[in-house]
Amino acid sequence: MPEEPIIAPAPELWRKQAVARLAFAAAIVALAAWTFAEYLPALGWAGVIAIATWPFYVRMRARVQGGLRSALPALFAIAVGLVFLAPIVGAGWLAGHESKAAALWLEAARKNGVPLPEGVEGLKYVGPSIANWWRENLADPQSASQLIHNFDKKPLFAMSQHVGVAAGRRLVVFLFTILALFFLYRDGDGIVVALARLSQRAFGPRGWTIGARIVNSVRGTVDGLVLVGLGEGLVLTIAYYFAGVPQVFLMGVATAIGCIIPFGAFVMFSLASALLLYKGAVFAAVFIFALGLVVLTVADHIVRPYVIGNATRLPFLFVLVGILGGVETFGMIGLFLGPAIMAILVDLWREATEPHTLDA
């Protein structure tokens, strides 16, 4: 007679099944992340944009009815895509328009040399040295022609080819981001309910609080980085216009984008100052550089920490570490992930160390 099978007690069997389900779910999640690794940044960007624009989307949805309400997710996704594409297309058109002028300038420089900008020789300490080098290498037509002729064009061609391939890949990711954003707008209410249930089951009552902190952190970071950066770009673009910076629209768009990226603003207004200096407008160059430093100092050390810190209850040091560390680790999307991670870390620290939580 075969022995009867031993049946495990119900609690023990339940624990084993729970561990097996958890292991299976973790394996499926890891496999899915590995399969869609190339598109995870696109999903992250779609999530960040959806979180940042969701309150405005909900208000608009409450005001429309009928077919327009059904089309609203697609309209919002397309509008977001146009917001990102318009500056890129405009900058590309201006760059193409100016390429002919650049070619003519190079040809004139090869034949006639590059004249020394006015005011350079009068610069204190460095002016005479710069002027001597300029006359020897650029002002003389023969030297300028030789310098341009000796310029190695192969790295430039290789870089342009690499940029073209990368641009094609980024375009695919961008289109996938817009598509994911459409589904987030359309199914956002159901996704919020599902995430609330998941956080409740995984972390208990504190799960919803953690999720809310993530959402507030992302929105505060968007306001602090994007909106404040665009404000910086607007102020500097107006200054560019009155100072006579060449290609003021292109420089203004590039500066606004640079103001969103850490240390990007400094690079852009320094470039604008260098262009003015090349034109001989020494006073205007100094003014733009000084104004840029003032705007950058006020935005980075007063406005931006106040906006982000109020939304996340983070001290300035943690905001700065979250932004810089996030960019270095995750790329551009780390601008928003970094402060969110720091907000959760600080929240957990406060919960573990505050007196009332210890008493509880």
Q: Kindly tell me the burial class for residue 92, based on how many C-beta atoms sit within 10 Å of its own C-beta (0-12, 13-18, 19 or more).
A: exposed
pTM metric for this prediction:
0.66
What pLDDT does residue 93 have?
65
Question: Which residues neighbour 309 within 8 Å (Cβ) at sequence distance 6 or greater?
Answer: 220, 315, 316, 319
What pLDDT does residue 142 have?
59
Q: Two tokens at 209?
A: 């609080």
Q: What is the 3-state secondary structure (H, E, C) of 321-355?
A: HHHHHHHHHHHHHHHHHHHHHHHHHHHHHHHHHCH
E-strand spans in the chain?
none
Q: Which of the given ranges, 62-71, 82-91, 120-129, 134-143, has the highest pLDDT on average?
A: 62-71
Average pLDDT value over all residues in the chain: 75
What pLDDT does residue 182 have?
92
| 31 vs 81: CA distance, rounded Å | 30
pLDDT tier at 198, thresholds 50, 70, 90:
confident
Task: Encode pLDDT of 1-37 as tens digits.
Answer: 455 555 555 667 777 777 888 888 888 888 888 887 7
What pLDDT does residue 113 have?
63
pLDDT of 196 > 50? The answer is: yes
pLDDT of 236 > 70? The answer is: yes
Question: Which residues neighbour 42 within 8 Å (Cβ) at sequence distance 6 or greater?
Answer: 173, 174, 176, 177, 180
Q: Kindly tell me the burial class for residue 229, based on how many C-beta atoms sit within 10 Å of its own C-beta (0-12, 13-18, 19 or more).
A: buried
| 51 vs 37: CA distance, rounded Å | 22
What pLDDT does residue 360 have?
47
Q: In terms of pLDDT, which residue wins out, 85 or 186?
A: 186
Q: Which of the given ranges, 80-89, 231-240, 278-287, 350-359, has the highest pLDDT on average?
A: 231-240
